[in-house]
């Protein structure tokens, strides 16, 4: 996946659904990318919010945009952040640009029953704290695999287990081990 024009407006986000020489037609993977392809062909703009949307004294931790829904999530570390009680400020924009915000207490997140916004904050925390440096990127791969409403409570442990197994079945041992590491962190929560 490739995103062009990050930090600029008016530039489209492009997608890639298959590697050179690979035929994914009729596969589960091609079905997962259909929503992204339809959104791009319909000219729906994807807006990635982040650093420029931080409140005074906050630090941008990470941001993402869901290509299927157009929902943009930005995670910030408040000025009074306390590592012993990690709470992030999360802003979410729907496809129409309507913004909502909430405080997410990382220590209260249940990866078996939380929404994409909470799981994004949790995996950004794991990545930025160095506890699991690839946590957010691995989560992003798994959430792209599961098309769901970002505001719906979801069992991310099951999704990550399924995605980890898919990596193993495909012979991608590095991917398998990366997801296994993430799974270890989120199940020992």
Summarised one tens digit per residue, pLDDT across range 119-131 is 999 999 999 999 9
Kindly state whether residues 72 and 147 are assigned to the same domain.
yes
Q: What is the pLDDT of residue 189?
A: 60
pLDDT digits (tens, 9 = 90+) for 134-187: 999 999 999 887 777 888 999 999 999 999 999 999 999 999 999 999 999 999
Kindly state whether residues 35 and 95 are assigned to the same domain.
no
Kindly state whether residues 139 and 75 are assigned to the same domain.
yes
Kindly state whether residues 56 and 108 are assigned to the same domain.
yes
Kindly state whether residues 99 and 156 are assigned to the same domain.
yes
Q: What is the mean pLDDT of residues 33-53?
A: 60
Kindly state whether residues 31 and 60 are assigned to the same domain.
no
Tokens of 180: 């296994």
Q: Supply the range of the domain harboring residue 172.
A: 47-187
Kindly state whether residues 21 and 5 are assigned to the same domain.
yes
Q: What is the mean pLDDT of residues 18-43?
A: 45
Kindly state whether residues 5 and 74 are assigned to the same domain.
no
> Rounded CA gap, 100 and 98, in Å?
7
Kindly state whether residues 38 and 52 are assigned to the same domain.
no
Phi, psi of 41 (to 5 degrees): -70, -30
pLDDT digits (tens, 9 = 90+) for 83-106: 999 999 999 999 888 999 999 999
Structural domains of the chain, count: 2
Which of 33-37, 75-79, 171-175, 178-182 bottoms out in mean pLDDT, i.e. has the lowest?
33-37
């Amino acid at each position: 996946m490739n995103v062009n024009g990050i930090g600029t407006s008016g530039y489209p986000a492009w997608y890639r659904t298959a590697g050179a020489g690979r035929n994914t037609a009729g596969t589960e993977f091609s079905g997962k990318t259909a929503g992204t392809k339809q959104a791009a062909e319909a000219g729906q703009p994807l807006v990635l919010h982040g650093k420029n949307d931080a409140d005074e004294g906050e630090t941008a931790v990470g941001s993402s945009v869901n290509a299927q829904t157009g929902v943009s999530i930005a995670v910030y570390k408040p000025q009074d952040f306390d590592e012993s009680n990690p709470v992030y400020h999360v802003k979410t924009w729907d496809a129409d640009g309507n913004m909502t915000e909430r405080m997410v207490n990382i220590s209260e997140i249940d990866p078996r029953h939380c929404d994409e916004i909470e799981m994004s904050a949790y995996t950004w925390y794991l990545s930025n704290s160095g506890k699991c440096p690839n946590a957010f990127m691995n989560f992003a791969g798994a959430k792209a695999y599961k098309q769901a409403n970002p505001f719906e409570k979801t069992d991310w442990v099951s999704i990550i287990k399924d995605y980890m197994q898919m990596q193993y079945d495909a012979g991608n041992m590095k991917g398998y081990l990366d997801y296994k590491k993430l799974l270890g962190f989120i199940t020992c929560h």
